[in-house]
Amino acid sequence: MAADRSKFSNKFGFIAAAAGSAVGLGNIWKFPFEVGNGGGSAFLIVYLVFCFVLCYPILVTEIAIGRKSQKSAAMAFKPLGHPRWSIVGILGVFCGVLILSFYNIVAGWVLGYFVEMLLGNFDIGKNFGTYIQDIAEVGGYTIAFLIATTYIVSMGVTKGIEKASKLLMPVLLAIIIILTIYAFTLDGASEGIHFYLVPDFSKLNLNVIYRALGQSFFSLSLGLGAMMTYGSYLSSKENIASAGVYITLADVGIAFLAGLMIFPFVFSQGLTPEGGAGLIFITMPGIFETMGPTLGVVIGSLFFLLLAFAALTSTISLMELPVAYMVDKHKIKRKKAVWYSAGIIFLLGIPSMLGNGYSEYFTSFITYVGAEKPVNFMDFVTDVASNTLLPFGGLMVSIFAIYAWKRQKLFKELSVGNPNFTKTFLSRYIAFSLKYICPPILGIIFIITVLEIFFGVKIL
Ligand code: TRP
């Protein structure tokens, strides 16, 4: 069975796919508004520290577990001799499906905005609040996006996932660089850069730390086995530790660039950065309008095309989770498994779609103990699945690697394709973080946030 498992064709193919998974709406849509709500650069700094100190070692471990076991997330622990840990992988698959259910809706907004920009309808930004309540329109684009994802995943690892990522990732990088350079030429750019880069640590509180942690895991696609699954398609010739460095740098680099691009835009329009989930959808069309009809249409549609590409290489990695699970575990044919998954994901996404004003119930879905305002369904799923369960999954992966699988075996796998690994600084860094940093930090933040945010217990 293992012998005929598909493989990425080479290191670049793998890095493109894994970086494609990492770089997504998380970097270009979510990151800027989290920075905006989290007080600018204070959030940025905490996010960067989490990415390098906690996430990189976990990323490398996830890839190693996947490659060694030759199995997708939910099935990966058994071949390593620890079947009970499969629960972590299964939780990951569920969590991935939940995340994709709302992610796909935002991707639908992106696709819709791409069309509106092509048509020169810049007023859409002011009408964002009503646009997302237009269920027929948003629903249509969401379905279109889901079909594109499903189609690519149905083509398999090499001809689908790898090919799409190799094509889309370089284009994405080019577009974002062009837009950042343009942003720098605007009046107000320096104010935006100041907000983004000059730290104000008085803004730091538990909530900022909690969200920065969730964001770092979300943005690197960690904590639910997506990277394990991709790792299972990686050849034993490749060097995992260095691939991990490239993936982390690509992800952090693009998030950083996205901030450099957005904040000058926001400030040049005299808007405030605390725009919430609508930040780029509200701000950007206004920017494009000021560029005049022709340039505005070109740059505006380019921007939303960039977002759509970023989203697509991420949705395919999320979709691969349930698909690989069905293929590996239940021996269902890939072509069938993708359509089953798509159906489930679409249905689960309906409450998120309705929760943007259309249905009062899903819009004011839940009020956390002690909070003033209710949050909508999408924010609730983000808090549970992304901000809480992803770091929890990371915690489990670090405990598994050190205490169940053990460091020697992890290092043995990391030395495959990299014979000098144990002599490198990275090996010491990874082992130290997995043992002494990840479990205590992730454990403490998990306990405190669950108690404080969901149960209203005051600890800090
Ligand atoms: N990393 C992606 C983003 O930033 C989202 C994503 C894709 C993801 N695959 C994932 C998040 C797996 C968690 C787990 O947009």
Condensed to tens digits (0 to 9), the pLDDT of residues 126-183 reads: 999 999 999 999 999 999 999 999 999 998 888 888 887 888 878 888 888 988 998 8
Residue 395 lies in a domain: no
Burial of 237 from C-beta contacts in 10 A (0-12 / 13-18 / 19+): exposed
78, 54, 63, 402: CA torsion to nearest 10: -40
Q: What are the pLDDT digits (tens) for 232-275? A: 999 899 999 999 999 999 999 999 999 999 999 889 888 888 77
Instruction: Check pLDDT > 70 for residue 460.
Output: no
pLDDT recorded at residue 207: 83
**Residue 2 — very low, low, confident or very high, per pLDDT cuts 50/70/90?**
very low
pLDDT recorded at residue 1: 42
Among the listed ranges 58-62, 172-176, 347-351, which one has the minimum average pLDDT value? 172-176
Average pLDDT, integer, range 412-441? 96
Find out whether the beta carbon of 20 lies less than 6 Å from any atom of ligand 1: no
**Most confidently predicted of 52-56, 442-446, 452-456:** 52-56
Q: What are the pLDDT digits (tens) for 182-214? A: 889 988 899 999 999 998 888 888 888 988 999
pLDDT recorded at residue 10: 85
Among the listed ranges 353-357, 402-406, 409-413, which one has the minimum average pLDDT value? 353-357
| Mean pLDDT of all residues belonging to the chain | 91
Burial of 367 from C-beta contacts in 10 A (0-12 / 13-18 / 19+): exposed
Average pLDDT, integer, range 31-49? 91
Q: Write out the residue range of the structural domain in which residue 241 sits.
A: 11-350
pLDDT recorded at residue 4: 55
Residue 372 lies in a domain: no
Q: What are the pLDDT digits (tens) for 268-316? A: 888 888 777 888 898 889 888 988 899 999 989 988 988 998 899 899 9
- How many domains does the structure of the chain reveal? 1
Residue 103 lies in a domain: yes
pLDDT recorded at residue 21: 92
Instruction: Check pLDDT > 70 for residue 3.
Output: no
Find out whether the beta carbon of 309 lies less than 6 Å from any atom of ligand 1: no
Q: pTM (2 decimals)? A: 0.93
Find out whether the beta carbon of 224 lies less than 6 Å from any atom of ligand 1: yes
SS3 state of residue 291: coil
Find out whether the beta carbon of 219 lies less than 6 Å from any atom of ligand 1: yes
Residue 50 lies in a domain: yes
Average pLDDT, integer, range 67-93? 94
Residue 440 lies in a domain: no
Cα of 21 vs centre of ligand 1, distance in Å, is 6
Ligand 1 nearest atom to the CA of residue 390, by list position: 13
Residue 63 lies in a domain: yes
Task: With residue 26 as reference, give the H or E element that holds it.
Answer: none
Number of H helices, E strands in the chain: 23, 0
Find out whether the beta carbon of 22 lies less than 6 Å from any atom of ligand 1: yes
Task: With residue 343 as reference, give the H or E element that holds it.
Answer: helix 334-354
Which of residues 59 and 454 earns the better pLDDT score? 59
**Protein residue closest via CA to atom 12 of ligand 1:** 221
Find out whether the beta carbon of 318 lies less than 6 Å from any atom of ligand 1: yes
CA distance 377 to 366: 8
Find out whether the beta carbon of 26 lies less than 6 Å from any atom of ligand 1: yes
Residue 448 lies in a domain: no
Average pLDDT, integer, range 81-99? 95
Find out whether the beta carbon of 98 lies less than 6 Å from any atom of ligand 1: no
Of the residues 221, 230, 345, which should be mutated to test ligand 1's pocket, given the most ligand atoms within 8 Å of the CB?
Answer: 221
Sign of CA dihedral 118, 119, 120, 124: negative
Strand partners, 375: 366
Of the residues 218, 306, 320, 381, which should be mutated to test ligand 1's pocket, given the most ligand atoms within 8 Å of the CB?
Answer: 218
pLDDT recorded at residue 166: 83
Instruction: Check pLDDT > 80 for residue 438.
Output: yes
CA distance 200 to 380: 28
Find out whether the beta carbon of 387 lies less than 6 Å from any atom of ligand 1: no
**Protein residue closest via CA to atom 7 of ligand 1:** 314
CA distance 199 to 39: 9
Which of 230, 209, 266 has its CA nearest to residue 50? 209
Instruction: Check pLDDT > 90 for residue 415.
Output: yes
Instruction: Check pLDDT > 90 for residue 452.
Output: no
Find out whether the beta carbon of 317 lies less than 6 Å from any atom of ligand 1: yes
51, 54, 57, 60: CA torsion to nearest 10: -50
Average pLDDT, integer, range 327-353? 93
Find out whether the beta carbon of 27 lies less than 6 Å from any atom of ligand 1: yes
What CATH number is attached to the domain comprising 328? 1.10.4160.10
Find out whether the beta carbon of 24 lies less than 6 Å from any atom of ligand 1: yes
Cα of 221 vs centre of ligand 1, distance in Å, is 4
Find out whether the beta carbon of 142 lies less than 6 Å from any atom of ligand 1: no
